[in-house]
């Protein structure tokens, strides 16, 4: 088996395909907020939707390499539009992390912009304010409908929101943000990650006592199944928590989840939307889970040594290569998505077997890393 060196032609070619395609699609998408591509065109969502950071994040990834000013202007316009929603308590949830990490933190890291720093710190404060001290978890959502009580709900996706808190701790020198991120990650170790490396999507706590009271299948097939994107959130999120804290417990958790993820991949290395589906349930792929997990695997490879590093790097490379070669929509003008066959929410029958903007973002982040760009916005 050949060791991945980061220099292979296909990864350079893939980056070129991404840059060319986004140059084209950015003419129509502009400073909008795409989520899922339906019939070849990205449907635009309000700025308050949780996916609002991924398109500007993708633009920043490309700007970092090409310095294309037209992409910078679009990403900055997206960021300014988020100013409207930061005041809207009811519309924002814990995905503040995704939203402001890939807009304001990205711009601050790339350009040192002071207004972006202020925005990201405000967002970090809102995220920190969702922490339940008694239960040691960050509350996921506000009520989706009148009368819903979800003060005790925490979800695995939040692992990817924690980097905003670590960034705020480092930027201000105030460790409170880090303490919250660590307490939440410790709760995930205790209550979300199962002994076999699979994960729960939703864990429900009593918001008064902090006791765990149950689990919910959420976007997975069932409470005891294994939603693949949730597994990817855990894998990458734990690797990032290790990167920010140096904690061996997070590194070991990332490895455990990685082993479960890799062991359950089909032959083309791109996961089905849930790893534990009964025969009679359609096994659509979720390319976004593959793309996110690949980024986690590449980071993990850099956090360990020797044969382990080669195993994780090879697994991440295999996923990205398959996404490029078998799932990429490079030749057609009739599709705005970069990679096909994502599944957003099978239980609610939403956005099934379509390109998803977070799949595109993580695919581009992973390919950029293979080409030598190691600085992360997370």
Cα–Cα distance, 346 to 306 (Å, whole number): 39
d(CA 29, CA 22): 9
Cα separation of 350 and 338, whole Å?
19
Q: Which is nearer to ligand GLY, 76 or 93 (CB)?
A: 93
Residue placing its CB nearer to ligand GLY in the complex, 71 or 185: 185
In the block, tokens 């006791």 appear at: 211
316/359 with CB nearer ligand GLY: 359
Whether 157 sits among the annotated catalytic residues: the reply is yes
Query: Phi/psi zone of residue 143: left (φ > 0), alpha (ψ -120 to 50 degrees), beta?
Result: beta
Cα distance between residue 212 and residue 220, in whole Å: 20
Q: How far is the CB of 153 from ligand GLY (least distance, A)?
A: 13
| From 95, 274, 286, 360, active-site residue | 95
Cα Dmax for the chain: 57
**In the complex, least distance from residue 141 CB atom to ligand GLY, rounded to whole angstroms:** 10
219 scored as a contact of ligand GLY (CB under 6 A):
yes
Site for ligand GLY in 37-76 (CB under 6 A): 50
In the complex, least distance from residue 271 CB atom to ligand GLY, rounded to whole angstroms: 13
Under the binding rule (CB under 6 A), the answer on residue 229 touching ligand GLY is yes
Min separation Cβ 227 and ligand GLY, Å: 9
Cα gap 114→245, rounded to integer Å: 25
Residue placing its CB nearer to ligand GLY in the complex, 116 or 187: 187
Nearer to ligand GLY, 4 or 141 (CB): 141
Look-up of token digits 């925005």 = 119
Contact 45, 93 (CB under 8 A): no
Strand 153-155 and strand 202-205: the pairing is antiparallel
Site residue total, ligand GLY (CB under 6 A): 5
Indicate which single residue of 132, 198, 344, 351 sits in contact with ligand GLY (rule: CB under 6 A): 344
State yes or no: residue 157 binds ligand GLY (CB under 6 A).
yes
Tokens standing for residue 66: 């090409």
CB of 92 to ligand GLY, least distance (A): 14
Catalogue the active-site residues. Answer: 95, 157
Q: Which residues bind ligand GLY (CB under 6 A)?
A: 50, 157, 219, 229, 344
């Amino acid at each position: 088996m050949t060791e991945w060196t980061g220099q292979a032609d296909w990864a350079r070619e893939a980056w070129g395909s991404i840059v060319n395609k986004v140059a084209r699609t950015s003419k129509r998408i502009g400073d909008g907020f795409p989520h899922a591509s339906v019939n070849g065109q990205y449907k635009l969502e309000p700025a308050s939707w949780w996916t609002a950071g991924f398109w500007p994040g993708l633009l920043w990834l490309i700007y970092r390499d090409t310095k294309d000013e037209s992409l910078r202007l679009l990403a900055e316009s997206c960021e300014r539009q988020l100013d409207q929603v930061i005041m809207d308590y009811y519309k924002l949830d814990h995905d503040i992390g995704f939203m402001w990490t890939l807009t304001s933190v990205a711009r601050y890291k790339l350009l040192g912009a002071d207004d972006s720093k202020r925005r990201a710190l405000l967002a970090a404060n809102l995220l920190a304010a969702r922490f339940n001290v008694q239960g040691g978890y960050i509350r996921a959502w506000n009520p989706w409908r009148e009368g819903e009580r979800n003060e005790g709900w925490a979800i695995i996706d939040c692992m990817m929101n924690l980097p905003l808190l670590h960034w705020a701790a480092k930027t201000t020198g105030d460790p409170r943000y880090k303490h919250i991120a660590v307490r939440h990650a410790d709760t995930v170790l205790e209550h979300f990650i199962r002994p076999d490396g699979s994960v729960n999507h939703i864990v429900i706590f009593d918001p008064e006592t902090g006791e765990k009271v149950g689990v919910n299948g959420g976007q997975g097939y069932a409470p005891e199944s294994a939603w693949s994107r949730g597994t990817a959130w855990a894998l990458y999120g734990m690797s990032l928590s290790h990167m920010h804290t140096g904690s061996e417990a997070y590194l070991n958790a990332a490895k455990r989840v990685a082993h479960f993820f890799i062991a359950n991949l089909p032959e083309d290395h791109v996961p089905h939307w849930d790893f534990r589906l009964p025969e009679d349930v359609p096994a659509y792929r979720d390319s976004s889970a593959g793309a996110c997990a690949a980024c986690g695997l590449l980071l993990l490879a850099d956090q360990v040594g020797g044969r382990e590093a080669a195993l994780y790097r090879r697994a991440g490379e295999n996923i990205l290569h398959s996404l490029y070669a078998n799932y990429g929509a490079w030749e057609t003008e009739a599709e705005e998505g970069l990679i096909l066959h994502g599944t957003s929410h099978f239980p609610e029958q939403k956005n099934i077997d379509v390109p998803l903007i977070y799949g595109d973002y993580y695919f581009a982040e992973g390919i950029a890393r293979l080409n030598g760009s190691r600085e992360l916005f997370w």
